[in-house]
Structure 1
Amino acid sequence: MTPAGDSASLTDSTAVRVSLAAPGFLRAVIDNPPINLFDPAVFAGLNLLRRYADEPANAVKVVVFESANPEFYFAHLDLAKATDVPDVPGAQSIVQGWPNFSRWLTNSPVVTIAKIRGRARGIGNEFVCACDMRFAAAENARLCQIEIGFGLVPGGGGLEWLPRHIGRGRALEAVLSADDFDADIAERYGWVNRSLPDAELDDHVDRLARRIATFDATALATAKELIGAGQPTPTENELAESFGAIRALRRGEPAQRLAGSLRERAGGSLAAAELDLPQLYGH
């Protein structure tokens, strides 16, 4: 099992703890209690990781992203703080910086792998979709674009990534239903590489990452680049445009009214309903 409780990090972040699992192989553990909201502290940690991985002297070939919380990979974006820039190392506005970071996950010479336990909703799903590979725990991984349920649209890549991974019809099913999809269905759709029993997930991803890390960095980067050239990825402008759309819709009366109604259904706090959030607006 991954030592998720280890607080040591190669970068100055507690929200994204980075460790060297093997030569060329970094493990990044997302740890932002209580539900791993994607907020400015997490984004700052991801930016620090990127800087470390991009430094040639560090010789990074592969990064595995996982969660310290087995219930939540990423709950969703903390939209209220999406433009905040706190006084911490690596801080950047999520709205301004996410499109470029998302493309880095895909276009960097570094191989990026998402190891998914728990819920990856909204930008959480968009994060894993931007990674090169995705492996999910069969028992509890859930992928979801929640935005339609709040009168919004996916704004961090869901509209751009899902059709590329699973096709138009299934992307419409995922986006317009705003429902959770389990790991087995996600594998069937091509959304994740594999759905694996939780007890096998760590070993499978670890073996793969260690194997990749033994190969020549130039060969890895060239293979990734050539495969990507045949399957164009979302541009920064496309990603920025959808981010602008969600922010505009959030200010509108329908989204404001729906958010209030959902909070009322949840007893005044959406936080209490995060585990089964799609069921809140699914009636």
Structure 2
Amino acid sequence: MAFENILTAQENGVATITINRPAKLNALNKATIEELHDAFKAADTDHSVKVIIVTGSGEKAFVAGADIAEFSEFSTEEGAQLAARGQELLFDFVQHLGTPVIAAVNGFALGGGLELAMAAHFRIASDNAKMGLPETSLGVIPGYGGTQRLPQLVGKGRAMEMIMTASMIDAETAKAYGLVNHVVPQAELGEFVKTIAAKIMKNSPAAIAAAIESINANYEDGVNGFTTEIRAFGKCFGTADFKEGTTAFLEKRKASFTGK
């Protein structure tokens, strides 16, 4: 699959999706969002892919925001459609993928960039990363899930402050807030993320997908997360991975999971 705005690579069960618009600091436009959807969908349906990493090209930016020139003249209706389509096509789509998605945040993750990182299942940042939702400085609010996911990750008060002030925070502050899991030197980011991916790949893909579904359920209105967990837990008993995992444990050997 040929892309204009992103790069894709696959090695040892890890698919890496790289936003590649360096002249725009990897800003998200409509075309890039559509390409990202296609790339994530392809990786998720490829049974050889066990982990997806999303990052930005270069050392300056993960994604420095949305491409403002593309929507600066939008009407009220067009603005609402932009948010709805983007959330459906990319941000909600990524959050609910059964394949684990790790955001490797290298440099600026602002606006839509931070919203993409927050849609990933967790985040690892380089020590030069800067994160924020500056939309109120443009007379608008985050529209790709930022007002919902940021409070879930850092708490209501901190999210209110970050969004109202339109301020950036550095990587260590993001770690202290719980926005990112780890902070590593820029030069070590790629290898560190792959180390985490390797740990994930030792475990059952079927169980991991069930865990993602169950954890996400806790944050969905009208959904009982405990009920989802009970159902997903029971479903695991019918998988080949459960049979393999328990058998391997009893036989004192390493399990060989298939994801089925």
User: Normalised by the size of structure 1, how large is the TM-score?
Assistant: 0.70
User: For the residues of structure 1 that align with 2:48 and 2:202, how far apart are their CA atoms?
Assistant: 11
The secondary structure found in structure 1 opposite 2:101 is strand
User: For the residues of structure 1 that align with 2:215 and 2:151, how far apart are their CA atoms?
Assistant: 17
Q: How does 1:237-276 map to 2 (within 5 A)?
A: none
Partner of 2:28: 38
* 1:157 shift after superposition: 1.3
Higher RCO, Cα 8 Å, sep 6+ = 1
- Please tell me whether Structure 1 or Structure 2 has the larger radius of gyration of its CA atoms: 2
Partner of 2:68: 79
Unaligned runs of 5+ in 2: 73-80, 224-260
Unaligned runs of 5+ in 1: 1-10, 84-92, 236-283
The count of residues paired between Structure 1 and Structure 2 equals 213
Relative distance call for 1:14 and 1:212 in structure 2 (3 A) is farther
CA-to-aligned-CA distance 1:157-182 (integer Å, 9 cap, x gap): 11111110001110011101111100
User: For the residues of structure 1 that align with 2:108 and 2:125, how far apart are their CA atoms?
Assistant: 10
Q: How does 1:86-235 map to 2 (within 5 A)?
A: 95-100=83-88, 101-138=90-127, 140-232=128-220
- Give the counterpart of 1:62 among 51, 64, 77: 51
CA contact (8 A) 1:116 1:141 kept: yes
CA-to-aligned-CA distance 1:131-176 (integer Å, 9 cap, x gap): 10100011x1000111111222111111111110001110011101
* 1:213 shift after superposition: 2.7
Q: Which deviates the most, 216-225 or 195-204?
A: 195-204
Structure 2 residue 49 is the aligned partner of structure 1 residue 49: no
User: For the residues of structure 2 that align with 1:225 and 1:167, how far apart are their CA atoms?
Assistant: 22
Q: Percent identity?
A: 28
Relative distance call for 1:75 and 1:188 in structure 2 (3 A) is same
User: For the residues of structure 2 that align with 1:17 and 1:79, how far apart are their CA atoms?
Assistant: 22
CA-to-aligned-CA distance 1:241-265 (integer Å, 9 cap, x gap): xxxxxxxxxxxxxxxxxxxxxxxxx
Aligned-residue CA RMSD (Å): 2.2
